[in-house]
Structure 1
Amino acid sequence: MRRPARRRPDPEPGAGAGATSILKFVIAEASFIAALMFYVGLIYTSRYYSNFHLSPSSLGFGFSDYVVESLQILSRPVLIAVVSLLLLMSVPQFVRRLPVTSRVRRRASAVWGAMARQYWVVVAAGLVLFLLWPSVRPYWMAPATVAAGLLIGQSGAALRGRGQRPADRAVPLFAALAFLLLAVTLLAAQLGDREAKQAAARVVRWPGVVVFSTERLSLTGPPALKAEDLGAGAHLRYRYSGLRLLVQRGDRYYVVPVGWDRTRDSVYIFRENETTRIELTPGVRRGARR
């Protein structure tokens, strides 16, 4: 006698809905992070290339380029600050898991709550930094301090014992996010400007560029920029050296002379064609003689 097939148990109600909710949350978070990286990359590249009289739009930068460039702000101080903030946020959970008596936990929680309720001191410190804006650097410290104070004020430890409606918390949370965005903007701009100035001071280490042309080019610049006439028998008669490659975008080469100064020198743009040939050479390595 054939046994009836065993019926599979029905899936638990809400299991599919829970997976869908998690997927929607992940997609929303990924979209937010991508948008933030795009914004940070735009600010960084705009400030970086403005030091060379260029703009990212003229270079043909796209969404993926800005996202990749945003990774430039992940410098050592920034990573230390982010890790420190994450550790600070995990202090309450860490204290609750310590193998100590409940009395010690309550005392530690009370101390943390008392400190959190004084969040206005941190906000006031940020306002003082704003008042001293021209003389206090880095500039992003002022909005970051205000944002930290506002976030501490909305923490569970600060709100314990004085209930607050979600609508009342919306304004300080929105203000904290606005100050955080301002801090990130100033940080990206500062790093872009600093990286550009450091790069301009090491132009000699950039890849070298040699330009051959059938026509004489009107190039002027520092003494390192050399023009040679190879003779009437050469098709590409004129050779220009002492140049360095700033960036290559498509078929365009953005070039500066060795010893380039942003206050007086130009950025040359070349396109390789029948009348112009571009050759790239290694730059001067660190420690090598110039």
Structure 2
Amino acid sequence: MISQTAVLTAALYYFGWIRAHTTYSHFGVDPQLLGFSVTDYLMRSVNSVLPPLIVTGFLVLALRAAHRHLVLPMITTLSNQKRQLVTQAVVTARGIAALLATVTVIGLLAEEQVGAPLGPALPLTMIAATALLGYAGHLSTLIRQQPKATSDASSIRLRTAALLALAIIGLFWAVSSYAQHTGRAMAADRVAGLPNEPDLVLYSAERLAIAGPGITVDEIRQENSRFRYRYAGLRLLVHSPDRYALVPAHWERGNSHVHLIPISADVRIDLIAR
């Protein structure tokens, strides 16, 4: 149980890191600068992992039900016509699997020309090819219904292990691609929603090199005030235990900065709800 928990935690951490890295790389920020903890990455993995796993679970249940209620009754009767139909389906499944496997290999070798345009669909082709090969082999065994020699049994076990390994790799790859897709979508939504987020006012004891579209700075002339400068027109992108990441309300990729402000007694932040 400890080893399974460790593997699951490592996988969720990886998917959370991919999601966070994709999102904040859109703003030009390396998540390592933000000092996220393991818990932060685990929390960010939830919306990247659950949808693919839920879809996979329901799909497996649907395919299992179709196998039990449609395919098995056809095989148990084993009339010549139905035997030919199932045999034809096995040959077709293997042909489709070979085609999908070829697309997967080409996508890996020609990543920019084929792999990038396919995007998340590429790992799905690998999963589909593996599933079709495994199911076709299972149907062939059911049709023959005869004991296997020791050498044949060893070959079947080896093939099953290889297909299972490929299926796990394909699922891991598919979830990683979905995490990247989620990260890009969240970055785009965040940019679009910045003008509607709470206004952020930054007070600083020293003048800071903060500038950008819509950002204003006022000097505080009140006596005995710890803070001498007031910055407005900012939004909070994210914060970590030791710094704030601030952006202009109308941030534009390639034209606007992300300001990393260390948390200290010389800095104060106020939020004004809109």
Q: Which has the larger radius of gyration?
A: 1
Larger RCO of the pair (alpha carbons < 8 Å, separation 6+): 2
Give structure 1 stretches of 5+ with no counterpart.
1-23, 285-290
| Structure with a larger share of its residues in helix | 2
Tell me the distance in 2 between the aligned counterparts of 1:167 and 1:264. Answer: 55
Match for 1:277: what amino acid?
R
Query: Counterpart of 1:228?
Result: 218
Cα distance 1:154–1:41, how it changes in 2: closer, same or farther (>3 A)?
A: same
Q: Is the 8 A contact 1:123 1:146 kept in 2?
A: no
Equivalent residue for 1:207, pick from 177, 190, 198:
198
Q: List aligned pairs for 1:208-287, cutoff 5 A.
A: 208-222=199-213, 224-233=214-223, 235=225, 236-282=227-273, 284=274
Equivalent residue for 1:88, pick from 60, 63, 72:
63
Give structure 2 stretches of 5+ with no counterpart.
none
Identity percentage of aligned residues: 24
Number of equivalent positions: 255
For 1:202, what is the secondary structure of its paired residue? Answer: helix
TM-score (norm 2): 0.76
Instruction: Report the aligned-residue RMSD.
Output: 3.4
Q: List aligned pairs for 1:154-193, cutoff 5 A.
A: 154-155=134-135, 156-160=138-142, 161=144, 164-193=155-184
TM-score (norm 1): 0.73
Query: Counterpart of 1:115?
Result: 89
Q: Give the deviation of 1:134 after TM superposition.
A: 5.7
Q: Is the 8 A contact 1:114 1:158 kept in 2?
A: no
For 1:45, what is the secondary structure of its paired residue? Answer: helix
Tell me the distance in 2 between the aligned counterparts of 1:112 and 1:140. Answer: 31
Tell me the distance in 2 between the aligned counterparts of 1:105 and 1:237. Answer: 90
Residue 50, structure 1, aligned to residue 25, structure 2: yes
Tell me the distance in 2 between the aligned counterparts of 1:234 and 1:113. Answer: 89
Q: Is the 8 A contact 1:126 1:143 kept in 2?
A: no
Equivalent residue for 1:133, pick from 107, 110, 114:
114
Match for 1:226: what amino acid?
T
Equivalent residue for 1:124, pick from 87, 93, 99:
99
Q: Give the deviation of 1:70 after TM superposition.
A: 0.9
Cα distance 1:201–1:275, how it changes in 2: closer, same or farther (>3 A)?
A: same
